[in-house]
Amino acid sequence: MILKPQDIIISLKLLDEKHAKFTFAQLAAELDMSASETNQAFHRAREVGLVSPLEKTANRSAVAELLI
């Protein structure tokens, strides 16, 4: 799977714990993206392990490894 820049942005945004209970519309508005684009980015990030498969939180160690 090929990651897109917005996948990384979504993952970084989810590192902030205040986004634990979000809707894709809210997240999209904060990032100036469409809700569908946000949804797709979230699911791509989840597929590659940047987002927890059971929760809507970022996998800190995976995001850190990607950025390094």
pTM: 0.87
Identify the pLDDT of residue 4. Answer: 94
Residue (of 30, 29, 26, 58) closest to 42 by Cα position: 58
Cα 56 to Cα 23, 68: the distances in Å are 10, 23
pLDDT digits (tens, 9 = 90+) for 19-52: 667 888 999 999 999 999 999 999 999 999 999 8
CA separation for the pair 41, 4 (Å, rounded): 8
